[in-house]
């Protein structure tokens, strides 16, 4: 155990919050001694008897004497008096922090009570609790995997803030930081308002003459919604009074929402009702995902308010036991590229579009949420079924906030093109990984069309688009093959005057062109050039999204390299702009055949059967590189298992994916002992036996899944870190791969 952070901690107010703070500090060895201050002698006796604190005093100044950290856990309304009472006992270096749920008034009280010591006061608020109260309910694990919000002011000593952050982190909490005003606003909207509504609803019904009968027949939803009305009235009375301004503002927002709902019900406006409820349903799932540190997909299909991810951790690792083989019929998720485009074009179409096979992964759901935020009513997804109530090419509405794209580069780049011609301003943001990816190669041609687009530092997100611009058609020669850039320009062309055309240096996936045609929009295609005229119309249709060949690629490689394997991958899209992975693996000697080839909604599909086979190294033809750009991490694993050298050149695009996939894959191969040489635009991999090791995926889902397949031929255990983003493209990968024969454990 490391040395304690503090010599002596004093806890003022030994209820659940204060008692649990003391218990957690003791259990985690964060202080040499812990004392308490309380007006109640009985509470102090109980705390000492339970071993929560070492000693205590009813004199608060005496209780804090010699303490280098003081944690104040008392009602917000009493904070000023408590701080004034303990101040005479503070040493000049003592740090004071609190657990109050309203920060504005607490800070005002602290400034007045502490005087010159105010700079050592670090306002805080642990977001944790239990229905039980008092020191007997003290729980050393109460703050583990919960959030604590610190709200230091400009006058707060940064060193004091760092020490308070350290003790909460030592208790296992996630520490956030925000301004006091923003804290009070957020808590008013997400905590204080729900409590007020629960108290109000129960009180309103209790005042009815037949309230006993109402309560007798109330369903479980009433019980769940009103559970928080059993909270301590005295405490919430104080909170409502202390956070009056923010609470009144939140009540105003809620009142506006009720008015919108009432108006929709009165008018019988089905679309408005469905829009409110689908947005609410989705927003709650996003909240559950963040609160439970799990994927949106899992949260959406769970009614459990305590949901965590499968491992109970925010970012699981894969522990791969070497060996095994793959067998069986494996249905991989729907095509991600087509799922994105089905939402985009369905939203802009006239009429109702029905989609089957939609990929319910984080990336595609980010696109879906963006269009909900722009006023499109979208039902589902439910088991891959989505119903989109299109608003027409010019029917989108300005979102009330920035559109969050998560980890999805496809969402951000295609939406940049689509939104360049809208009448409203909009901002596109993403997670830490997406925020590092280049956006100027999309913004530049759109600016040439007349769009006003501002990117962040070094041409990276956020992307800000100024609305109300008149776009003019251009011809654009792509400097580098990219389906995303091509699609963004063509989508911008839907709003441009004249014919917008794009010529690509090598073939890339053509889902945008094909799907535009499926929605009845004319697309001119002439060799390497695709073109659209602005001002047309999209007509709603039915779409069936095939299984994603990029997801199938991991099993194509896994079954090829593991002796005795044979798998069938049904209904996989085999668009000729996407089959580079099949062509490359066949050149390496893979035993792959296509069965039951057919057409599904304008896209060719087939059942793919793959058996294990000895692979040999090849020089990958450069004309196949754009047709397999997303599948190269998996192909690298095939190369590591092949006889001889595999050489890839002309793949600069891999440097700007979710990670620098050339370098990150090279680092992983090095960790396993695979001989390789890195080039600016590719890599040489020498196949042979390799061992186990630690793999850093850098949050890149394809890196993680590729090295999972490497375990089939590894001589030792492989641990793959940072695997949370696998849910972005392949929800349920770990379970499906384990069922097929991969020896995978989530940690």
Catalytic residues: 630
Cβ neighbourhood burial of 321 (10 Å; 0-12, 13-18, 19+): middle
Spell out a b/e string for 397-432, using b for 16 or more CB atoms within 10 Å of the CB, else e.
Answer: eebeeebbbbbbbbbbbbbbbbbbbbeeebbbbbbe
Q: How far is Cα 60 from Cα 333, in angstroms, rounded to an integer?
A: 62
596 in Cβ contact with 574 (< 8 Å)? no
Cβ neighbourhood burial of 614 (10 Å; 0-12, 13-18, 19+): middle
| DSSP H or E stretch at residue 701 | helix 701-710
Closest Cα partner for 100 from 122, 75, 82, 120?
75
DSSP label at 562? S
Please state at what angle helix 409-419 crosses helix 336-348, rounded to 10 degrees.
20
Helices (H), 351-462: 362-373, 409-419, 440-448
CA angle at 299 for the pair 347 and 174, rounded to the nearest 5°: 115
Q: How far is Cα 665 from Cα 684, in angstroms, rounded to an integer?
A: 12
CA angle at 355 for the pair 351 and 361, rounded to the nearest 5°: 130
Helices (H), 451-537: 483-493, 511-518
685 in Cβ contact with 646 (< 8 Å)? yes
- Backbone phi, psi, residue 31, to 5°: -150, 150
Distance in Å from the first CA to the final CA of the chain = 23
295 in Cβ contact with 727 (< 8 Å)? yes
Strands in 576-661 per DSSP E: 591-600, 603-611, 645-648
| DSSP H or E stretch at residue 574 | none
Which positions ≥6 away from 442 have C-beta within 8 Å? 413, 416, 417, 484, 485, 488, 489
């Amino acid at each position: 155990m490391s040395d304690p952070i503090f010599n002596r901690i004093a806890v003022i107010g030994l209820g659940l919050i204060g008692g649990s703070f003391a218990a957690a500090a003791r259990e985690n060895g964060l202080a040499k001694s812990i004392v308490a201050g309380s007006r109640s002698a009985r509470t102090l006796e109980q705390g000492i008897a339970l071993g929560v604190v070492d000693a205590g005093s009813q004199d608060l100044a005496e209780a804090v004497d010699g303490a280098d950290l003081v944690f104040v856990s008392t009602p917000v309304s009493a904070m000023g008096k408590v701080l004034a009472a303990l101040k005479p006992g503070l040493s000049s270096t003592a740090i004071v922090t609190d657990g109050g749920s309203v920060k504005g008034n607490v800070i005002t009280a602290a400034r007045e009570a502490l005087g010159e010591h105010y700079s050592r006061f670090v306002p805080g608020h642990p977001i944790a609790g239990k229905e039980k109260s008092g020191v007997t309910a003290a729980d050393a694990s109460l703050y583990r995997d919960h959030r604590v919000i610190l709200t230091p002011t400009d006058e707060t000593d940064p060193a004091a803030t760092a020490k308070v952050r350290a003790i909460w982190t030592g208790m296992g909490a996630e520490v956030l930081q925000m301004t006091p005003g923003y804290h009070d606003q957020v808590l008013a909207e997400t905590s204080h308002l729900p409590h007020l509504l629960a108290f109000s609803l129960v009180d309103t019904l209790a005042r009815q003459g037949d309230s006993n009968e109402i309560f007798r027949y109330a369903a479980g939803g009433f019980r769940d919604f009103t559970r928080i009305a059993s909270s301590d009235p005295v405490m919430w009375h104080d909170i409502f009074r202390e956070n009056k301004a923010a609470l009144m503002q939140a009540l105003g927002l809620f009142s506006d929402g009720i008015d919108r709902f009432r108006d929709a019900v009165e008018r019988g406006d089905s679309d408005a009702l469905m829009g409110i409820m689908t947005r609410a349903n989705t927003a709650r799932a996003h909240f559950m995902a963040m609160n439970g540190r799990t994927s949106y997909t899992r949260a959406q299909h769970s009614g459990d308010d305590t949901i965590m991810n499968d491992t109970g951790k925010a970012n699981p690792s894969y522990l791969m036991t070497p060996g095994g083989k793959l067998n069986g019929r494996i249905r991989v998720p729907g095509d991600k590229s087509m799922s994105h485009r089905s939402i985009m074009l369905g939203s802009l179409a006239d009429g109702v579009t029905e989609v089957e096979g939609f990929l319910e992964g984080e990336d595609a759901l980010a696109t879906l949420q963006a269009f909900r935020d722009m006023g499109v009513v979208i039902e589902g997804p439910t088991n891959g079924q989505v119903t989109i109530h299109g608003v027409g090419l010019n029917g989108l509405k300005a979102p009330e906030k920035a559109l969050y794209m998560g980890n999805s580069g496809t969402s951000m780049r295609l939406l940049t093109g689509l939104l360049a011609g809208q009448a409203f301003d909009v901002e596109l943001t993403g997670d830490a990984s997406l925020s590092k990816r280049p956006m100027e190669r999309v913004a530049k041609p759109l600016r040439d069309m007349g769009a006003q687009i501002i990117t962040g530092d070094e041409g990276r997100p956020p992307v800000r688009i100024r609305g109300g611009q008149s776009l003019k058609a251009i011809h654009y020669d792509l400097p580098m093959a990219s389906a995303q850039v091509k699609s963004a320009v063509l989508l911008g062309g839907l709003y441009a005057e004249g014919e917008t055309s794009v010529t690509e240096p090598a073939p890339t996936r053509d889902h945008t062109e094909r799907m535009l045609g499926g929605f009845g929009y004319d697309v001119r295609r002439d060799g390497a050039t695709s073109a659209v005229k602005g001002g047309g119309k999209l007509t709603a249709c039915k779409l069936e999204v095939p299984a994603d060949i990029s997801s199938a690629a991991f099993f194509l490689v896994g079954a090829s390299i593991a002796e005795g394997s044979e798998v069938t991958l049904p209904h996989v899209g085999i668009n000729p702009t996407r089959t580079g992975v099949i062509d490359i693996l066949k050149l390496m000697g893979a035993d792959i055949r296509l069965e039951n080839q057919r057409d599904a909604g304008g896209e060719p599909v087939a059942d793919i059967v793959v058996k294990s086979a000895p692979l040999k190294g090849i020089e990958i033809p450069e004309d196949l590189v754009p047709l397999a750009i997303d599948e190269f991490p998996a192909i690298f694993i095939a190369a590591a298992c092949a006889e001889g050298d595999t050489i890839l050149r002309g793949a600069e695009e891999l440097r700007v994916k979710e990670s620098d996939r050339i370098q990150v894959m090279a680092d992983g191969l090095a960790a396993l002992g695979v001989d390789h040489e890195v080039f600016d635009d590719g890599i040489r991999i020498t196949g042979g036996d390799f061992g186990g090791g630690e793999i850093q995926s850098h949050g890149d889902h394809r890196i993680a899944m590729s090295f999972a397949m490497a375990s089939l031929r590894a001589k030792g255990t492989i641990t793959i870190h940072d695997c949370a983003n696998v849910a972005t493209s392949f929800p349920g990968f770990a379970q499906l791969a384990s069922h097929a024969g991969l020896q995978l454990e989530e940690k």
